[in-house]
Chain A
Amino acid sequence: MKMTRLITRRRAIITGLASAGGLILTRYPKDLPPTYGNLLRMGDTLTYAAHRALLPRQSLVREYTPKDITSFPATGTTNPGVSAKTALGDAYRGLQSGAFGDWRLSVEGRVAKPRTFSLAELKKLTSRTQITRHTCEEGWTAIGQWTGVPLSLVLDAAGILPVARFVLFYSYDDWVDSIDLLDALHPQTILAYGMNGRDLPIPHGAPVRLRVERQLGYKSMKYLRRIVVADEFDDGGKKGNIQNGWAWYTGI
């Protein structure tokens, strides 16, 4: 009773493995984060490559109404001026005493016109207000309203170059992290200076924090000071999240 089957086990396994491998291999290696020979990082990369290959590129996260706004814990650093005994902490304390009038956001790297933005200059650009869900890696969620300027407008103003692949962020609590260009240019990726209708409070990242709505909360870096556009992946050295055991892509 021999019959030819359309899907044999062996063929299905080979096809499955080939397509999974293809998701990774067909990407230009410099477009992928390093795995450091770590199996967990290789799994992260598989998830990242699968999301980028299979998901629609610019779909928007759900936006809520003002009555959906919930209580919102402030975790991690809640004031870099107090918790960081460093030059950055001292600098932040100085900025805070001047109501962030002297704060400047540096935009540099692969841009035609490297420059800085004051808070007033950011507020002059077209703003976007969105009520979204913050999804913490710990498992809790909170809904808040964010007002800010789309990162794409800031990058355009600095003349982002066609070679750009990643955008790095540096903070006053001394973290470095990055996102790829797809998330950087996403319409809901904003540099937020307002929360729930007021100035962004210090515990939530004053004067300006990032919002990356299609990833977990820790990618939305608080207390921004510097943005660097890069043409290949940069792990940020010892201050980088990926060097400290945290997945770089957290759209999961």
Chain B
Amino acid sequence: MAEILGEPGRASGVPRHARWVRISHWIGTVSILTLAFSGFVILMAHPRLYWGDAGNDLTPALLELPISRNYEHRGWDQATPFFQDAASPVTANRTYDIFNQNGWGRSLHLLAAWCLVLPGVVYVLAGIFGGHFRSHIWPKANELTPRLVWRDVVDHLRFRIPPARCGPHYALLQKCAYSLVVFVAAPLMVVTGLAMSPAITAAFPLLLRLFGGFQSARTIHFFTFIALLLFVFVHVVMVIKSGFRRQIRAMTVGE
């Protein structure tokens, strides 16, 4: 098993990235970038976030993102109430065409989701049964002492980044970050994504109850995306700081 014993002839004898890990890494890279791009396109059609089940231009927003000039056309006809009482919900006609051409964004998002989730399931099964998660990704109990965690945090804050070992022997915070991405953020993205599907929530209403409604799931989907974006940023910075060429070689040709 090359991933543990290392290649004969490698002077240092440190293990290298297994081929299936390298393949998974780049499938993940391409599909996550595609998901980020198409997800942003989808968001631009309605850059307002809400909590609960319902939210639209005639109800208050939790957060409004300044990311789409197109959306700022606004313009609504006089609102008319549905019922007699003062607090009645209203309806109003949108007076402009939203010039919305994002049908392809949603199709691409779902296509990229398939390309991430199907290999992702293989990756997770291989990681569990092949021991990769246990030996490389999941932090060990004796590593997780406050003293060691604190030392690693301070090292990172001072930018004391050790040169790349170019293999799956990760540092403590690195393991924590990878564990959060693989076991928390990625599953949360999938499940909040499914919670936005009218067909899937009809079959599994628990999904809506879990997150407190469609719009809550959409908002959590967005903030988890922001967290993943931060991860990707830090990840790339660390790759550059620890020796970009060697790291790229290690994750592609596996040397």
Which positions in A face B, CB cutoff 8 Å? Answer: 1, 5-7, 9, 12-13, 16-17, 20, 39-44, 46-47, 51, 55-56, 59-62, 64, 68-75, 78, 133, 135-143, 195-198, 201, 203-204, 213-216, 244-247, 250-252
Report whether B200 and A133 are in contact in the complex, using a CB–CB cutoff of 8 Å.
no
| B135 in contact (CB, < 8 A) | no
Total contacts A-B at CB 8 Å: 172
The chain B residues found within 8 Å of chain A, CB to CB, are: 1, 20, 42-43, 45-46, 48, 53-59, 76-77, 79, 82-83, 89-94, 98, 100-104, 106-108, 110-111, 114, 118-119, 121-122, 125-126, 129-130, 196-203, 205, 208, 214-215, 218
A238–chain B nearest beta-carbon distance, Å: 16
Contact B106 A247 (CB under 8 A): yes
Partner of B215, one of A20, A41, A141, A198: A141
The listed residue (A7, A70, A140, A196) touching B129 by CB distance below 8 A is: A7
A203-B93, A245-B103 in contact; A252/B110 too (CB < 8 A)? yes
Kindly state the separation between the CA atoms of A74 and B93 in the bound complex, as whole angstroms: 5
Once bound together, how far apart are the Cα atoms of A141 and B104, in whole Å? 20
Which A residues touch B57, using CB under 8 A?
A: 73, 140
Decide yes or no: A141 and B214 within 8 Å by CB, A41-B107, A60-B202, A252-B199 being known contacts: yes
In whole angstroms, what is the CA distance A203 to B78 when docked? 12
Which chain B residue has the least Cβ–Cβ distance from A61? B202
Contacts of A137 in B (CB 8 A): 45, 102-103, 106
What are 8 A-B pairs at a CB distance below 8 A? A13-B122, A16-B119, A39-B111, A41-B107, A140-B48, A196-B83, A197-B82, A252-B199
The reply to whether A12 and B125 contact each other, CB–CB distance below 8 Å, is yes
- A47–B199 Cα gap in the complex (Å)? 11
Complex alpha-carbon distance, A244 and B106, angstroms: 14
B104 touching A245 by the CB < 8 A rule?
yes
Please tell me which one of the listed residues A51, A62, A78 contacts residue B205 in the complex, with CB atoms under 8 A apart.
A62
B205 to chain A: which residues have CB within 8 Å?
Answer: 62
Cα distance A68–B214 when bound, in Å? 14
Q: Shortest beta-carbon distance, B108 to chain A, in Å?
A: 6
Contact A73 B103 (CB under 8 A): no
Q: Within the assembled complex, what's the spacing in Å between the Cα atoms of A88 and B104?
A: 29
Quick one: which of B93, B121, B199, B201 has the most chain A CB within 10 A?
B199
Q: Which residue of A lies closest to B49 (CB)?
A: A139
What 10 new A-B contacts, CB under 8 Å, besides A70-B89, A137-B45, A139-B45? A7-B129, A16-B119, A17-B118, A46-B111, A62-B205, A133-B53, A136-B56, A138-B46, A141-B54, A216-B198
A71 and B59 contacting across the interface, CB-CB below 8 Å: yes
Shortest CB-to-CB span from B208 to chain A, Å, is: 7
Chain B minimum-CB-distance residue to A64: B53
Asked if B203 and A40 sit within 8 Å, CB to CB, the answer is no
With A140-B48, A140-B57 already in contact, the answer to whether A251 and B200 are too (CB < 8 A) is yes
**Which residues from B are CB-within-8-Å of A139?**
42-43, 45-46, 48, 218
| Among candidates B20, B55, B108, B118, residue contacting A141 with C-beta atoms closer than 8 Å | B55
- B110 partner residues in chain A, CB cutoff 8 A: 43-44, 47, 252
- Give the CA-CA distance A244 to B107 in the complex, in Å: 13
What residues of chain A lie closer than 8 Å to B53, measured between beta carbons? 64, 68, 133, 141, 143
| CB <8 Å contact, A138 and B45 | yes
Contacts of A203 in B (CB 8 A): 91, 93
Contact, CB under 8 Å: B202 / A16: no
Alpha-carbon distance A43/B104, docked complex (angstroms): 11
Q: What residues of chain A lie closer than 8 Å to B107, measured between beta carbons?
A: 40-41, 43-44, 247
Distance between Cα atoms of A249 and B29 in the complex (Å): 28
Least CB distance from B58 to A in Å reads: 4
In the assembled complex, the CB of A183 is this many whole angstroms from the nearest CB of chain B, namely: 9
Give the distance to chain B from A25, nearest Cβ to Cβ, in Å: 16
Chain B residues positioned under 8 Å from A215 (CB to CB) = 198-199
Which A residues are in CB contact (< 8 Å) with B1?
1
Q: Is the CB of B125 within 8 A of A7?
A: yes
